[in-house]
Chains A and B, each alone.
Chain A
Amino acid sequence: METAERNARDRAWLSAIAAGGRDGERAVAALFREYRRPLLAFLIRHGAQQDLAEDLLQEVFVRVVRHAEGFRGEAAVSSWIYQIARNLATDAARAPRREEHLDDEGWQRVADETACSTGGDAKAALDECVNTGFAAFGRAHPERAEALRRAALDGWSVRDVAQFLERTEAATREYLSQCRKRLREFLEPCRTLIVEED
């Protein structure tokens, strides 16, 4: 499903939830089923154990239902839901996770971890290399990695990421530029496998 279609569907569900009745109940169930699994994965990545993640997830949807009527609709519904999840996960962890600052030894570790084979299927080798590099990036910069996941999985624009991070669009644009720059440092060993056609 296209990003715009998905967002239109999500908005329709939110409207139904705000209106209440049987349709509202069905919309809650549909929205929950749509987002449950990716949100659980998101919460677990934010450090929640499976049980706590289920509790937090339920709390996310309690808040979604409670505030559905007030959803302003300036960004994607998904970015609003993930923003709620992010805040809850942060509260649950008591403090935001700090990004890891790598020293020389850390960078050497990353270089070793992401050292890639150039033999065999080049696309598979690239995927393996990027997988290792992105995992290392995610450990060092969990919030930045999450923004990229949402962009890939939910088609978030800069505005959607801005809502998720609770920043202005201009600040988010700068944040994402830095994000891409730092990611490329982690993907440096994959450079020889990357081919860009235009």
Chain B
Amino acid sequence: MTQPQDDLDRWLAELAGQDMARGARSEPQALRRVILNEASQQEQLATDDDQATEQLLFRLRREGLLKRRRLPAWGYALAATLAAAAIGLFVLRESPSPAPEGVAYGEPPIWRGAFAQFEVRGRAPRASAEKLVGALRAAGVQADIYALGAVYTVDTELAAPLSAAVQAQFQALGIAVKPGRVRVEFKP
């Protein structure tokens, strides 16, 4: 505020209670008391500040006037990096480690009709299942792996005539197969 420059400025300062030199019975001080008393009485008429504040904030939000704080350019870069890192960590944590043959986690489908089912026990059921699937796919035969717990199931459909390579893969597991649907369960 500016310093009093003349009589008018002093009078305003007295009204504001900043200069009390002329005493309580001076005109400006009496006027000040009257104005303060009037304001006090009128302000008591207003009720419920909380509700009025909420109504105001609601309107400001609705009209989009409460803007979000702007980030500096480096802030956006940092936020983007952190977001990417967080997503990456989440994906790494939640996703199964990718198998070369694409293991589908869950129960194998329920097959109806005729199919041959075999069970192979070994120390590394997953590796064995993946090896079989890899070999079948290499021979041009469609095959899928399903994992449920420690059991890895390979489903495939063998067309006639069976190639020597395909027969050899199953024979290595001790299995004699014929054309048709084949399910092999690898268990520990």
A residues at B contact (CB < 8 Å)? 3-4, 7, 19-25, 28-29, 32-33, 36-38, 40-41, 44-45, 50, 54, 57-58, 61-62, 65-66, 122-123, 126-127, 130-131, 134, 148-149, 151-159, 173, 176-177, 180, 183-184, 187, 190, 193-198
Contacts and interface: CB of A to CB of B under 8 A. Distances in A.
A157 B2 contact: yes
A149 B35 CA distance: 6
A21 B68 contact: yes
B67 A196 contact: no
B55 A58 contact: yes
A126 B32 CA distance: 12
B45 A173 contact: no
B128 to A, nearest CB: 58
Interface residues of B, number: 46
B66 A20 contact: yes
Interface residues of chain B: helix, strand, loop or mixed (majority): helix
27 contacts: A20-B67, A28-B56, A28-B57, A29-B56, A33-B53, A54-B52, A62-B65, A123-B30, A130-B27, A134-B34, A148-B35, A149-B38, A149-B39, A151-B12, A151-B15, A152-B31, A153-B39, A155-B18, A156-B16, A157-B1, A157-B12, A158-B8, A159-B2, A180-B8, A180-B11, A196-B22, A197-B26
B139 to A, nearest CB: 63
Nearest to A2: B18
Contacts of B15: 148, 151-152
B49 A36 contact: yes
Interface of B: 1-2, 8-9, 11-12, 15-18, 21-27, 30-39, 42-43, 45-46, 49, 52-53, 55-57, 59-60, 63, 65-70
A45 B55 CA distance: 23
A126 B25 contact: yes
Nearest to B23: A197
B57 to A, nearest CB: 7
Contact of A196 (B1, B27, B38): B27
Contact of B57 (A19, A29, A177, A196): A29
Nearest to B16: A155
A190 B69 contact: no
Contacts of A38: 39, 43
B59 A24 contact: no
Contacts of B70: 19-20
A123 B57 contact: no
Contact of B66 (A7, A65, A134): A65
A20 to B, nearest CB: 4
Contacts of A156: 12, 16
Most interface-central of B18, B25, B37 (chain A CB within 10 A): B25
